[in-house]
């Protein structure tokens, strides 16, 4: 376990030595505050509105930004070491291949979770201070759920980035595949489901299957974790409308997100053990 923690600590420090990660933390906070403050500008007013509406907006922001960041900080996990000529050197140490991948995965996940916690947490704390919600305990439970699910969402895409990095032979191809993965999961998947609804006319079979299709995408699971907890009137009208009559146990959603984080990472470890370097 010590080699894994050593590698993880090194990756964590390297991520925060890189000003890109610090800039992302500040960006998280600024975007969150901006959405919260100007979210009702179209209705002719600015300022913090209801807490539920603000958290729903933050969920939408997180669904777009966190997967992209997770992919960008980890897409060169292995292929970058190979391109720099340091991979064989690292493997010459008393360090198993699986330990190397596991350490890098944990380090990147920790860095992204810390950036999410500090960035979104700072913004939410400012909103709480400026306009405390009526039900403080319930609000903080929603915040905790959001931060935890956002960290798991980041881990899902860090694991996918590790898999891409193991399977590719150069950084440019890995970067391209990472961006394609982001586009497929964040944009095209939901568009495909919407097209399916339009073609089928929203028939009863489609309405019965649709809630389960959402579980095939960690981004939609992240939305479900947060938007279903907020209740009616929060977030994506299509998402909430099509799942209004379907109950998702919180434990099920948590396990699905955990599976999405673990499976790509486990696949990356297995592939790297069998790959010639």
pLDDT of 240 reads: 54
pLDDT of 132 reads: 56
pLDDT of 29 reads: 80
pLDDT of 166 reads: 94
Flag residues of the chain having pLDDT under 70: 1, 39-51, 128, 130-136, 201-202, 205-207, 231-246, 277
Distance of CA 151 to the CA centre of its chain: 6
pLDDT of 212 reads: 83
- Which residues have a Cβ under 8 Å from the Cβ of 87 and sit 6 or more positions away? 78, 81, 277
- Which residues have a Cβ under 8 Å from the Cβ of 29 and sit 6 or more positions away? 118, 119, 120, 122, 123
């Amino acid at each position: 376990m010590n080699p894994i923690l050593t590698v993880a600590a090194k990756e964590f420090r390297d991520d925060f030595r890189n000003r890109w990660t610090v800039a992302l933390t500040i960006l998280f906070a600024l975007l969150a505050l901006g959405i919260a403050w100007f979210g009702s500008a179209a209705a002719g007013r600015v300022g913090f509105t209801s807490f539920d509406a603000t958290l729903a907006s933050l969920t939408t922001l997180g669904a777009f930004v966190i997967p992209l960041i997770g992919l960008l900080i980890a897409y060169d996990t292995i292929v970058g070491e190979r391109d720099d000529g340091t991979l064989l050197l690292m493997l010459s140490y008393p360090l198993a291949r699986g330990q190397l991948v596991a350490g890098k995965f944990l380090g990147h996940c920790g860095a992204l979770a810390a950036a999410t916690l500090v960035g979104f947490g700072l913004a939410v704390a400012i909103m709480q201070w400026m306009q405390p919600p009526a039900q403080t305990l319930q609000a903080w439970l929603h915040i905790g759920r959001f931060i935890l699910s956002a960290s798991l969402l980041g881990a899902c895409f860090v694991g996918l980035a590790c898999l891409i990095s193991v399977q590719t032979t150069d950084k440019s191809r890995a970067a391209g595949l990472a961006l394609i993965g982001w586009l497929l999961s964040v944009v095209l998947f939901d568009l495909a489901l919407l097209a399916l609804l339009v073609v089928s006319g929203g028939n009863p079979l489609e309405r019965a299957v649709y809630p389960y299709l959402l579980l095939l995408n960690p981004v939609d699971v992240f939305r479900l974790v947060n938007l279903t907890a907020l209740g009616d009137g929060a977030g994506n009208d299509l998402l909430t409308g099509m799942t209004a009559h379907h109950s998702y146990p919180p434990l099920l959603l948590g396990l699905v997100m955990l599976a999405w984080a673990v499976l790509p990472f486990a696949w990356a470890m297995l592939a790297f053990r069998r790959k010639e370097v």
